[in-house]
């Protein structure tokens, strides 16, 4: 595997379910990101991790819980989601967070909350 | 002030034509302006980027024009090809934080 991979690619869940999204980067980067992409809205940054430490939480509801066990893996734990949380969730990585860093995106997980 | 406004929302261009996508921002602290390209089923990928100390950057058929005084920048795709059909996002970043603020995207369709 190369680049940034995400699993699953598609997920359907009920509002009472608990599920997790997984992201893995094979680029040797130190920073990882979660974004939400909704139809006709700009990509929204959710979380940033740098060297496994969370450096940004963009006022994300607590029903989204990120986890970064190491610099290569990033998880997004989901529980009691709402239908408006249906979106494409994108993971990205970059060498660091010092600015002017290219972010490399995974293909995303398409989430549908029923 | 953190917004980046992008237009048009969608664009249809004939093969060989010029595609132009525009973005505007308010925050004068932004100092890095990348453009990302996204194909269906894929994540966005960096296409080209510019810093405000230059007014233009060209890479192949893709050119960014930057107007610092107007706080506007644009992407020009010369000799547009059907393979350029994708969604294009402009973005802006405040130096030192790597926190990208994205525009809403432009869906480009290049017809043969």
Q: What is the pLDDT of residues B59-78, one digit of tens each?
A: 999 999 999 999 999 999 99
Task: Tell whether A100 lies on the interface with B, counting CB pairs under 8 A.
Answer: yes
Cβ atoms within 10 Å of B53's Cβ, excluding its own? 8
Contact B95 A99 (CB under 8 A): yes
Both tokens of A65, joined, read 């819980």
How many beta-carbon pairs under 8 angstroms link A with B?
A: 60
pLDDT at B98 over 80: no
Residue of A109, A26, A21 lying closest to B41 (CA atoms): A109
Q: Which residue of B has its CA nearest to A9?
A: B41
Q: Which residue of A has its CA nearest to B42?
A: A107
- The low-confidence residues of chain A, meaning pLDDT below 50, are none
Contact B96 A108 (CB under 8 A): no
- pLDDT category at B96 given cuts 50, 70, 90 is low
pLDDT at B2 over 80: no
């Amino acid at each position: 595997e190369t680049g940034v991979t995400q699993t699953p690619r598609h997920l359907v869940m009920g509002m009472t379910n608990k599920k997790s999204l997984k992201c893995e980067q094979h680029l040797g980067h130190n920073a990882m990101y979660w974004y939400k992409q909704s139809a006709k809205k700009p990509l929204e940054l959710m979380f940033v991790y740098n060297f496994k430490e969370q450096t940004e939480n963009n006022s994300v509801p607590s029903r989204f819980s990120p986890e970064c066990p190491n610099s290569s893996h990033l998880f997004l734990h989901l529980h009691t989601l709402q239908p408006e949380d249906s979106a494409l969730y994108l993971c990205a990585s970059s060498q660091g967070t010092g600015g002017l860093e290219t972010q490399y995106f995974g293909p995303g997980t398409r989430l549908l909350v029923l | 002030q953190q917004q980046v406004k992008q237009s048009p929302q969608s664009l249809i261009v004939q093969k060989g034509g010029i595609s132009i996508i525009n973005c505007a921002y308010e925050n004068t602290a932004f100092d890095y302006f990348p453009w990302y390209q996204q194909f269906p089923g894929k994540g966005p990928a960096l296409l080209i980027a510019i810093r405000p100390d230059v007014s233009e950057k060209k890479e192949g058929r893709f050119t960014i024009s930057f107007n610092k005084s107007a706080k506007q920048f644009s992407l020009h795709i010369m000799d547009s090809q059907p393979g350029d059909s994708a969604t294009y996002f402009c973005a802006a970043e405040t130096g030192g934080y790597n926190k990208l603020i994205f525009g809403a995207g432009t869906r480009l369709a290049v017809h043969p």
